[in-house]
Amino acid sequence: MRKTFLVLICLIVVQQFVSAQSVSSLSDPRRNIDTAVNLMAQEKYEEADTFFMSALGQIEVLSADFCYHFGKNSLLLEKHRQSIDWLNKYLELKGSQGQYSKEVFVLLEKAENGFRQDRSQASKANVETKFFYQNTVRCETGKHVVCPVCKGDDVIITLGQLGEKRYKSCPYSSGGYLICEDFNLLIQGKLKSKN
């Protein structure tokens, strides 16, 4: 009788553990990101956007990879301003040495060209900005901050197709530094480039 009772209790505990695991995996917002990336690979960009937006509403701190994928998907949907914001956010987090940095520079150029060609796209973009505001810093008058895009070098170095180094002046910093207010605008995706 005791053995049967212990086995029954063990089965109930295991069943509750398994059901809790399956519920937590279904409610894990990171699954939305994985699903969105898979949909992008299938060229279902509108559906992917829905999952990205769902993840935006659920995750407090987003990874640099999310910024890259969401920025790329936004470009493919011709939401150029949104794409520029998120790709710049990726560069801010990873700099020019990130896993996707080379591709981000190419995508950024396409997004900027598309934005210039059709300024009306900016009004169509559904830009979620609450995450940009979380990373602002308190500014003291005249305080300078190292530019996260060029890491204080004032130059962004990329490799060309033949392995040659390409040098591009940082579109945001002056001497590798930003004033604190400009740094906050950069993080929010609102800082316009010097060019």
Boundaries of every domain in the chain: 28-121, 137-195
Q: For 129-138, write each residue's pLDDT tens digit.
A: 445 444 556 6
pLDDT at 74: 92
Going by pLDDT thresholds of 50, 70 and 90, the confidence category of residue 7 is: low
Is the per-residue pLDDT at 188 higher than 60?
yes
Q: Is 60 left (phi over 0), alpha (psi -120 to 50) or beta?
A: alpha
pLDDT at 25: 37
Q: For 44-69, write each residue's pLDDT tens digit.
A: 999 999 998 888 888 777 788 888 99
Percent of the chain scoring above 70 in pLDDT: 72
Range 101-123 burial, b when 16+ CB lie within 10 A, else e:
beebbebbebbbebbeeeeebee
Give CA 58 to chain center in angstroms: 14
Please give the single-letter amino acid code of residue 174: S
Strand partners of residue 167 = 157
H-helix segments, the chain? 2-27, 30-41, 45-58, 64-76, 80-94, 101-117, 121-124, 130-134, 180-188
And the tokens for 193? 């480039």
Following CA atoms 179, 185, 189, 195 in sequence, which dihedral angle do they give, to the nearest 10 degrees?
Answer: -50
Mean pLDDT (the chain, rounded) = 76
Q: For 94-123, write each residue's pLDDT tens digit.
A: 887 888 888 989 999 998 888 888 664 444
Contact 80, 115 (CB under 8 A): yes
Q: For 146-173, write each residue's pLDDT tens digit.
A: 887 777 788 877 777 787 888 888 888 8
Name the one residue in this structure whose structure tokens are 């979380």: 134
pLDDT at 21: 43
171 vs 188, higher pLDDT: 171
pLDDT at 120: 47
Half-sphere CA count of 187, side-chain side, radius 13 A: 20
d(CA 20, CA 15): 8
Alpha-carbon distance values, 96 to 22, 34, 77, 112, 183 (Å): 39, 24, 25, 18, 17
* CATH code for residues 28-121: 1.25.40.10
Nearest to 105 by CA among 68, 132, 66, 148: 68
What is the bridge-based pairing of β-strands 177-179 and 144-146? antiparallel
pLDDT at 64: 85
